[in-house]
Amino acid sequence: MAAIIGRVVKNGDGAMPYKVVLELEDGSVVEHRVASIRAGEHMIREALEIPVQAPRIDPWNP
């Protein structure tokens, strides 16, 4: 089942201070604890099946 919405929210302090909240196609909600916002964003990209773009290199602004 694919996710349709994903959010990273603060969830207190400690080793896993954030959580990813995913809403699935059937309306159910799934939560996963993560250590950083970046890890949460990565999880959302995978769940939403968004392709990762290669970094764009600008020769005038290295």
At 29, the amino acid letter reads V
- Pairwise CA distance, residues 33 & 10, whole Å: 10
Q: What is the β-pairing status of strands 29-34 and 18-24?
A: antiparallel
Average pLDDT rounded to a whole number, residues 37-50: 90
Domains of the chain, by residue range, sit at 3-48
* 39: confidence class by pLDDT, cuts 50, 70, 90: very high
In angstroms, the Cα distances linking 12 to 9, 21, 41, 55, 62 are 10, 15, 18, 33, 38
Query: What pLDDT, on a 0 to 100 scale, did the predictor assign at position 62?
Result: 61
Q: What is the pLDDT of residues 16-28, one digit of tens each?
A: 999 999 999 898 9
Query: What pLDDT, on a 0 to 100 scale, did the predictor assign at position 1?
Result: 63
Query: What pLDDT, on a 0 to 100 scale, did the predictor assign at position 32?
Result: 94
